[in-house]
Amino acid sequence: MSGDALFCHCRPGFEPELAAELAERAAALGHAGYPRTQRGSGFVEYLCDDAAQLARQLPFAALIFARQKLLRLAELRGIDPRDRIGPVLATLDTICSHDRDGAAFGELWVEHPDSDAGRPLSGLARSFGNALRPALRKAGWLSAREQPRLPRLHVVLLDGDHLLLGRSHPGDSAPWPQGIPRLRMHAQAPSRSALKLEEALLVLLDRDERAALLRDGLTGADLGAAPGGWTWVMLGHGLHMTAIDNGPLRPHLFETGRLEHLRADGFRWQPAQPLDWMVCDMVEQPRRVAVRMAAWLREGWCRQTIFNLKLPMKKRWDETRLCLDLLEAQAGRPLTIRARQLYHDREEITVFARPR
């Protein structure tokens, strides 16, 4: 079941950044090809001779500006709205092997780009998915129950008569349709920035890491904490937190008895003894933030960190590479670095880093 392109969802407006990232990473892997996109579309396609091999060589976890990674199997245009199911089944019969042993797919996701043009298709995506799912099972393409070890089949609606078929592997893709985790704003959260850290902990850490690194009794600091959104998240995981900010925090944060507020400059303060965590969402030049985060890791002031880099309006992929290279160079030691533009991010990326 070979594909003809790599397809990635992204934040609308960041198509050039994702296109540049895919082109650079594909070239480094020896793939000659080119990205294709339109600004505001919410997705990028990368066309090359062997997209299936590129999909295997380029893990989703390594991508920064992609919300989801699919192997595009086919593009269907001019579909009769009265029968969208027939063309999908016929295309699968044509492009996929007929000698398969059992169902080829363990789950079906019918999606649309997260864009101005794509969002109105959400209702059609739901109804089409409900109709297509039993037809795929009857034809033997889809398992009767969700099978997490089998590839997913993605149908991406670009218009009422235009769709893409794609495939993803559960272990090499986002676990949510469109790559968007549906998080709700908690009434006690001091600010919407709490959603960024909650998503970062889901995306940048695996289940075992969350269990080991987010538990009662660990210590952390929040640089530039006010009004306390990120502090609130870490307190919720049982940590003892030190909030560093000259501004005020929401009073209810102190009810845990595990919070100390120091009115100090987040770029100057350092802990008296090593902490388990440091988190930072300060609005500052990204290179300055990268250098300061590197100092925390170099000096051993924290065991791991999650922080945001606010990106400029132009050359954002170049600035991203520069900042991440600067982080590791200034840390003076090999680092594990994971970075992603999260759904709840805006003109920024979120980074997890720790010494290897």
Whether residue 193 is annotated as binding a ligand: the answer is yes
Whether residue 208 is annotated as binding a ligand: the answer is no
My answer on whether omega of the bond before 81 falls inside 30° of 0, hence cis, is: no
Residue listed under structure tokens 């959104």: 229
Does the active-site annotation cover 310? yes
Q: How far apart are CA 287 and CA 267, in angstroms?
A: 13
CB 212 within 8 A of CB 354: no
User: Which helix (H) or strand (E) element contains residue 210?
Assistant: helix 207-213
Angle formed at CA 55 by CA 33 and CA 142, multiple of 5 degrees: 130
Whether residue 101 is annotated as binding a ligand: the answer is no
46 torsion bin: left (phi>0), alpha (psi -120 to 50), beta (else): beta
- In sequence order, what E strands does 97-161 have? 107-111, 152-159
DSSP state of 119: G
Q: How far apart are CA 112 and CA 128, in angstroms?
A: 12
Whether residue 229 is annotated as binding a ligand: the answer is yes
Sheet (strand 240-244) strand order: 259-262, 240-244, 219-223, 275-280, 302-310, 348-355, 335-340
Cα pseudo-dihedral 285, 276, 299, 62, rounded to 10: -60
List the catalytic residue out of 69, 138, 196, 310: 310
Pairing of strands 259-262, 240-244: parallel
Contacts of 89 (CB under 8 A, 6+ apart): 135, 136, 139, 141
Contacts of 297 (CB under 8 A, 6+ apart): 305, 331, 333, 335, 353, 354, 355
Whether residue 13 is annotated as binding a ligand: the answer is no
Whether residue 281 is annotated as binding a ligand: the answer is yes
Whether residue 151 is annotated as binding a ligand: the answer is no
Q: How far apart are CA 242 and CA 261, in angstroms?
A: 6
Whether residue 318 is annotated as binding a ligand: the answer is no
Would you tell me how many other CB atoms lie within 10 Å of the CB of residue 190? 21
Active site residues: 310
Annotated binding site: 193, 226-229, 245, 265, 281
Annotated binding site for S-adenosyl-L-methionine: 193, 226-229, 245, 265, 281
